[in-house]
Amino acid sequence: MSCLRRHSLPFLCGKKMGPLGATFLTIGRNHFTCKQRRRFSRVLLLALAVCLLSMPAEAKYSGGNGTLAEPYLISTAEDMNLIGADTNDWDKHFRLIDDINLAAYTGTTFNLIGSPFNPFKGTFDGNNHSILNFSYTITATDNIGLFRYIEDPNAEIKDLVLVAPQVNAGTGWFVGALVGHLAHGSVNACHVRDGYVSAQSVVGGLVGENFYGRIENSSSSCLVGGQANHVGGLTGASRGRISGCYSTGEASGGNYVGGLVGRNYYGRVSDCYSASDVSGDDYIGGLLGYNADEIAKCYSVGAVSGDVNVGGLVGYNFHFLGATVSDSFWDSHTSGQTESDGGTPMTTAGMKIESTFTDAGWNFLTTWYICEQFNYPRLAWQTRLLADFVCPYGVEMNDLAAFVEQWLLLRLSADILPEDNDGTANFLDYAAFADAWQATPASPNWNPDCDIAPEGGDNVVNAADLLVFLQQWLQFGASYGDIAPGEGDGIVNLSDYTPLADSWLQGL
């Protein structure tokens, strides 16, 4: 067969060519031998293949590639809604890089992430950002939450705030604002604020069911309602680990209702508290409705009401199975309950004294703190606002009064200790100063805070610094009031008033 006959389109030298290749070869046909053309066509095909392979894949989300090192970046509501649309991504890693608002999605329009048949196995790092207005309404489906179903020991949701989520799953089971069903994975430092969650059974403000997973350093401020059983401010039912968590708001349902957890089948609940009001029929407790394992170092203060097995802290504790409640308290006044199946009743005043808790082995160095006589204990991770200078918690009249006292005061350079300054130079500061005497940056006893003269320092602590120190001895200067700009500028004035006004009545 002659080359020219075989050359007739669309077959060219025995190979089927696309229109592009045909055009190139047509141009060259008068100048190349058939062998040359064949070689040329091979090179062209190879070049095309290389071109196609080297084209970047269609960009997904707002960047990243879904690995742990380079998680997919989520910066918009559309990005967030894409995760649930692609089951292939449910073992990938994600990071939120901006606050996002999901108000555009109502009913069932938002794509929930993970399913019982295809659980989410990846990680989602909220990066301390917020997701606002997540809402989902459905009449009768189980496992509902922003993440429907998580199942993997390494799956993790962390550092995320859900603001004003609204979830109503009708007669569905296993429902929480953040996670419906959490199997083996972990939820760490996640918070629900001003939420509403309603379903039939196993309902929690944060997580519906904790199934051998871990919930740590998280909180829920929610109205949580179950038409039937297993309702908790934080989680409806738990067979896992819960620590460093709290709930506020309201939990109401039929049986097994608790301010924090409706029913604890298995696992330890420790260093937690509930201020949620609780109501239901049977197995109703301020912290836990029904406990079958271990509760330690917890307290509750919410109002509790029910018919049978009602307790200020725990409604029913399954002693026969070895279930325990240790070093835990409830406010026998605010709860309206003098009885509990475990725990120690305490007056409101007693609940606001640190020694009540430290005597029971609570850790007020790293786990808890308290505004004694004003407030109940809080978890150490609940950082106080910058302008919350003095007790009680929150930016209120006492903070304003303290601030006014510091008005126009200068911060003393010799106020070295304590670290957050006490506004005066006294023996405490002198001790630090003496320790650093004659030091330079090369010395083991160097402390740059003691190099206070000349202004800006001269890398030695000597007589010039001592002179300034003595001038400030027992003087009164600014301490906590200097909170702006940045780390403070040495004087308490209008720029410090701004953050106070901005956070007024917050953190209470």
Q: Which stretch binds Ca ion (CB under 5 A): 70-78, 165-173, 207-215, 447-455?
A: 447-455
Shortest distance, position 248 Cβ to Ca ion, whole Å: 18
Order of all β-strands in the sheet with 147-151: 147-151, 179-183, 207-211, 235-239, 261-266, 288-291, 314-317
Shortest distance, position 355 Cβ to Ca ion, whole Å: 22
**Which CB sits closer to Ca ion, 164 or 412?**
412
Q: 151, 250, 271, 496: which one contacts Ca ion (CB under 5 A)?
A: 496
Q: At what angle do helices 34-54 and 19-28 cross, to 10 degrees?
A: 140
Q: How far apart are CA 361 and CA 304, in angstroms?
A: 26
**Which CB sits closer to Ca ion, 62 or 426?**
426
CA dist 107 to 166, 168, 226, 238, Å?
A: 10, 9, 19, 28
Site for Ca ion contains 271 (CB under 5 A): no
Q: How far apart are the first and last CA of the chain?
A: 92
Site for Ca ion contains 451 (CB under 5 A): yes
Strands 156-163 and 179-183 turn out to be unpaired
Site for Ca ion contains 282 (CB under 5 A): no
**Which CB sits closer to Ca ion, 176 or 481?**
481
List own/partner pairs for 74-80 with CB under 8 A and 24 or more apart. 74/98, 74/100, 75/100, 76/100, 77/101, 77/102, 77/104, 77/105, 80/131
Site for Ca ion contains 399 (CB under 5 A): yes
Site for Ca ion contains 497 (CB under 5 A): no
Site for Ca ion contains 89 (CB under 5 A): no
Site for Ca ion contains 482 (CB under 5 A): yes
Q: Does the bond joining 418 to the residue before it have cis omega, within 30 degrees of 0?
A: yes
**Which CB sits closer to Ca ion, 209 or 465?**
465
Q: Interface residues for Ca ion in 379-398 (CB under 5 A)?
A: 388
Q: Which stretch binds Ca ion (CB under 5 A): 21-29, 321-329, 350-358, 425-433?
A: 425-433
Question: Which are the contacts of 228, defined by CB distance < 8 A and separation ≥ 6?
Answer: 200, 201, 253, 254, 255
CA atoms within 13 A on the CB side of 97: 12
**Which CB sits closer to Ca ion, 293 or 399?**
399
**Which CB sits closer to Ca ion, 168 or 493?**
493
Q: Which stretch binds Ca ion (CB under 5 A): 65-73, 171-179, 325-333, 454-462?
A: 454-462
Shortest distance, position 114 Cβ to Ca ion, whole Å: 41
Site for Ca ion contains 411 (CB under 5 A): no
Q: What are phi and psi of 318, to 5 degrees?
A: -80, 75
Q: Which stretch binds Ca ion (CB under 5 A): 148-156, 255-263, 409-417, 432-440?
A: 409-417
Site for Ca ion contains 293 (CB under 5 A): no
Q: What are phi and psi of 349, to 5 degrees?
A: -65, -40
Find the helix or strand (DSSP H, E) in which 495 lies. helix 494-502
- Count CB neighbours of 352 within 10 A: 19
Q: 429, 450, 497, 500: which one contacts Ca ion (CB under 5 A)?
A: 429
Shortest distance, position 444 Cβ to Ca ion, whole Å: 18
Site for Ca ion contains 502 (CB under 5 A): no
Shortest distance, position 303 Cβ to Ca ion, whole Å: 25
Residue 320, sorted as left (phi over 0), alpha (psi -120 to 50) or beta, turns out to be: alpha
Q: Which stretch binds Ca ion (CB under 5 A): 60-68, 138-146, 325-333, 415-423?
A: 415-423
| DSSP code per residue over 96-128 | E-S-EE-TT--TT-S--B--SSS-B-SEEEEEE
Q: What are phi and psi of 179, to 5 degrees?
A: -135, 135
Size of the site for Ca ion (CB under 5 A): 12
Q: Which stretch binds Ca ion (CB under 5 A): 18-26, 97-105, 162-170, 455-463?
A: 455-463
Site for Ca ion contains 341 (CB under 5 A): no
Q: Do 291 and 316 form a contact (C-beta atoms < 8 A)?
A: yes
Q: 422, 434, 446, 504: which one contacts Ca ion (CB under 5 A)?
A: 422
Q: Which stretch binds Ca ion (CB under 5 A): 45-53, 172-180, 340-348, 453-461?
A: 453-461
Site for Ca ion contains 331 (CB under 5 A): no
Q: Which two tokens stand for residue 359?
A: 């005597």
Q: Which residues bind Ca ion (CB under 5 A)?
A: 388, 399, 415, 422, 429, 451, 453, 458, 465, 482, 489, 496
